[in-house]
Amino acid sequence: MKKKPVWLFNFSSSSNGGGFNRTKETVKWFDNNFGAYFIINDKIKDEISIHNKINKYFFISENKIKRLLIDGYYLPKIINEIGKPDIYFSYGIPVFRDIARINWFHISNALSLKTKNISLPFMIRVRMWILKKRIIRSMKYTHIATGESEFSIKMLKDKNNENHIKCFYDVLPNGYDTSLVKSILKKKRKPSYKYGITIGTHKYKKIKVALELFHEIKKTNNLKKMIIVGSFGHIPKSVVDDKFVEIKSNISTKELFNLLYNAEYYISASQIENSSIAVFEALILSKNLLISNIPSHDEMLRNFETKKIVLGNSRTEFIVLENKNKNKKIAPISWVDVNRKLFQIIDNFNNEML
C-alpha cells in the first residue's frame, strides 16, 4: 500500500482576505481527507482549530519585525517534532532552508515581486523590496513555485532564469463557493437604480482613477451611484466627499456577490494584481467590466470579445467587456478542485523529475 505523503502547510502570514479563505478551505479539505500539519496565524485560531479530526496545528503569533527579518524562526522546532515532511507548502513566505523532500512556494502577492511604478506607501514599498530580495535568495531551496496567474509566475521565472535556478511552475487559482454563485445567478436582476462598483481601496488600486472612470461613463449609462467596497481608512477624502459615492465595509460574501450581480459596471483601475479575485468574480456575475489593461486582467479576458480605450486625459489604456459577452462566462472553480490540483501538481512535478 502506497504511503500517504506528509504535508506541512505554512499559512502563518494569512489572517484575513483571500489568504484567510485559502487557509480555511485547505484546512477543511485536508481534515476531511488525508490530514496534514498546518502552521497558522493565532489570530484565526478559533476559526481553524475546530477542524481537528486528523489535522495537527502549530499556531504562531504575528511579529512584524520577525516576519520581515527572520520569518521561519519557528520551523526548526516544528521539524524537530514532526520529522522531515514530504511536502512543505509555503503561502507567501520564502522557503528559507531545505525543509522537506519537496519545497513549494506560492506567490500570494504580486507586489512582493514588483513595486516599480506602483503607487505604494513608503513603508509597504520597503517591506515588499526586502521580501522580494528574500524570495529570490530562497529560490535555491524551492522545487515548485505557483501563483494565481501566469503573470506572477512569469515574473518569478524570469528572475530564476537570470540566476540559473531551475524550478517547476504552475498556476494554482483561487477557489469559490460555487453553490453560492449558482444560487445568485439563478435570481432575476432587480436593481433599484443603475450603479458602478469597485472593490479594494489600497493605494495601488487607484480609487480616484476608478471614480474618474465612473464619472466618464455615468451619463451615457444612466449610472446613479458608485459603490466602493473596502476599508474606509484607505479612501482619499475627495472620493469620500463625492456625492455619488457609497462606501461599504465588512460585508459578507453573499452581499458582495449580490452587489456584483446587480451592478451595471464593475470598474477597476488597479496597477497590479497577482490574479484579481474581484475581477474574476465580476466576470462571473456582473453585466459589464471596465478595468485597467494590466497583464493579469488581460490574461483573464483573453477569450472574450473586448475593446481597449483611453478615457479622458488618462494615458492609461483600459479594457471594456460589454454585455454582448453575457452568454460566455467563466465557471467558478470550487475549493475542492483547487485542493485536488495540489496533488496534480505534485504528480506532474514527480513525472518531470523522472
Q: How far apart are CA 11 and CA 30, in angstroms?
A: 14
Q: How far apart are CA 278 and CA 218, in angstroms?
A: 21
DSSP H helices in 237-326: 237-240, 253-262, 277-285, 295-300
114 close to 155: Cβ distance less than 8 angstroms: yes
229 close to 198: Cβ distance less than 8 angstroms: yes
Are both 7-174+334-353 and 178-325 of the same fold? yes
289 close to 321: Cβ distance less than 8 angstroms: yes
What is the mean pLDDT of the segment spanning 76-97? 94
Place of cell 506572477: 152
Residue 317 reports pLDDT greater than 60: yes
Average pLDDT, the chain: 89
CATH code reported for the domain at 7-174+334-353: 3.40.50.2000
Of 127-131, 225-229, 337-341, the least confident: 127-131
What is the mean pLDDT of the segment spanning 255-265? 94
% residues pLDDT > 90 (the chain)? 57
Place of cell 479539505: 29
The pLDDT, as a whole number, for residue 69 is: 64
* 199-236 pLDDT tens trace: 999 999 999 999 999 999 999 999 999 999 988 888 98
Residue 354 reports pLDDT greater than 90: no
Residue 36 reports pLDDT greater than 50: yes
The pLDDT, as a whole number, for residue 58 is: 96
The pLDDT, as a whole number, for residue 241 is: 93
Q: Which helix (H) or strand (E) holds 214?
A: helix 207-221
Q: Where are the domains of the chain?
A: 7-174+334-353, 178-325
% residues pLDDT > 70 (the chain)? 94
Superfamily of the domain at 178-325: Glycogen Phosphorylase B; (3.40.50.2000)
Of 182-186, 198-202, 230-234, 295-299, the least confident: 230-234
Q: What is the CA 153 to chain-centroid distance, rounded?
A: 13
DSSP letter at 170 equals E
Reported as a pLDDT band with limits 50, 70 and 90, residue 68 is: low
Residue 304 reports pLDDT greater than 90: no
3-state secondary structure of 148: coil
Q: Most distant CA pair in the chain: distance in Å? A: 67
Q: How far apart are CA 347 and CA 17, in angstroms?
A: 29
Reported as a pLDDT band with limits 50, 70 and 90, residue 64 is: low
Residue 270 reports pLDDT greater than 50: yes
What is the mean pLDDT of the segment spanning 70-97? 91
Closest CA to 189 of 326, 333, 329, 332: 326
Reported as a pLDDT band with limits 50, 70 and 90, residue 1 is: very low
Q: How far apart are CA 199 and CA 270, in angstroms?
A: 10
The pLDDT, as a whole number, for residue 213 is: 92
Strand order in the sheet with 195-199: 245-248, 225-229, 195-199, 265-268, 288-292, 318-321, 307-309
